[in-house]
Chains A and B, each alone.
Chain A
């Protein structure tokens, strides 16, 4: 069974640009969550999608957005990039609310 796949693995963007990250969950998983990991703030929850609906949202500015497609694949978008957005972005999929989450290898975003 294929795991969670995130693309691209690495990205370098310039301040002010926008970026889209992609996540393909494990087959059959309808919940997809996104996390930001930085040395200073640790692992922080961005948002969760379930059956194409945003179910939960963390404390991030509106520049961070996401969506989920009918095949459960998800994308997250960050507009007007700032240097502080440099981080490892991790996607996780699960069967549902009480199930364990499985993570992808992440997308390492560097903003210069």
Chain B
């Protein structure tokens, strides 16, 4: 069975601080996909990134960066120089590639990030 754990329930930082959101996953599949989504108060889940299990390259997109480490089953997300607009709930998710899984996403519990001015 697949599982995603986000141990940090809430994080509070001051604007311009760097912050890392942790994500640990479990799966028996060798091929899988990892995702990060942002959920602002409006409720919509906003797609941030998708990573497949064969690509362990770290990725940077502006102030966002992701560190995928297969050896520790982790897919952590760092926001550099945080801004108030980054305040939201962030979800890590896993999708297995096997036929029977379809497009099903298994989500972590979410991390509420608050960036204070």
Within 8 A of A (CB), among B79-117: 91, 95, 97, 99-110
Contacts of B44 in A (CB 8 A): 103-106
A45 adjacent to B104 (CB under 8 Å): yes
User: Nearest Cβ distance between residue A26 and chain B, in whole angstroms?
Assistant: 11
User: Which of A58, A92, A99 interacts with B45 by CB under 8 Å?
Assistant: A92
**Size class of the contact patch on chain B:** 20 to 34
**Size class of the contact patch on chain A:** 20 to 34
User: Which of B91, B99, B106, B109 interacts with A45 by CB under 8 Å?
Assistant: B106
Q: A31-B102, A48-B104 are in contact. Are A97 and B47 (CB under 8 A)?
A: no
* Complex alpha-carbon distance, A45 and B52, angstroms: 21
* B64 adjacent to chain A (CB < 8 Å): no
User: Nearest Cβ distance between residue A89 and chain B, in whole angstroms?
Assistant: 10
Q: A42-B107, A42-B109, A42-B110 are in contact. Are A108 and B43 (CB under 8 A)?
A: yes
Within 8 A of A (CB), among B54-82: none
A105 adjacent to B103 (CB under 8 Å): no
B42 adjacent to A97 (CB under 8 Å): no
A90 adjacent to B102 (CB under 8 Å): no
Contacts of A42 in B (CB 8 A): 107-110
B43 adjacent to A99 (CB under 8 Å): no
Interface residues of chain A, those whose CB is within 8 Å of chain B, are 31, 33, 35, 42-43, 45, 48, 50, 55-56, 58, 88, 90, 92, 94, 96-106, 108
